[in-house]
């Protein structure tokens, strides 16, 4: 299926969902009415944090906003890789600081 919208590089899933919602002139309540999940979950996924996995609710919200399942899965994979690299850098710096103290 051809996507109606493209995911923007440099933005995480939640930011892409929020941007699409704003471009379509929708509110969180409008998106919530079109998908089968709670208002709080819709708000959390769009405004606050990205999803850890492509659940049914995430895919429904993304579909309402014009994204495909493949786009969502790809963006989640990218975020996982980015987060794991950041954690690795943090632990490497912590280890090097501990070595310097000795």
User: Tens of pLDDT along 32-82?
Assistant: 999 888 899 888 888 877 667 788 888 999 999 999 999 999 998 888 888
Mean pLDDT over the full length of the chain: 84
CA separation (Å) from 28 to 5, 51, 54, 93? 18, 16, 19, 40
Model pLDDT, residue 25? 93
**CB-CB contact of 90 with 28 (8 Å):** no
pLDDT at 102: 63
Tell me the three state secondary structure of residue 11.
coil
In CATH, what number does 13-101 get?
1.10.260
In the predicted structure, residue 1 carries a pLDDT above the cut 70: no
Q: Quick one: pLDDT at residue 21?
A: 92
Of residues 25 and 36, more confidently modeled:
25
pLDDT at 93 over 60: yes
């Amino acid at each position: 299926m051809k996507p109606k919208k493209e995911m923007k590089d440099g933005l995480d899933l939640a930011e892409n969902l929020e941007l699409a919602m704003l471009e379509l002139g929708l509110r969180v309540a409008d998106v919530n009415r079109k998908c089968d999940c709670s208002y709080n979950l819709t708000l959390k996924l769009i405004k606050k944090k990205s999803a850890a996995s492509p659940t049914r609710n995430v895919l429904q919200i993304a579909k309402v906003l014009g994204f495909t399942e493949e786009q969502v899965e790809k963006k989640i994979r990218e975020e996982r890789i980015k987060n794991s690299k950041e954690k690795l850098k943090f632990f490497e710096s912590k280890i090097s600081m501990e070595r310097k103290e000795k």
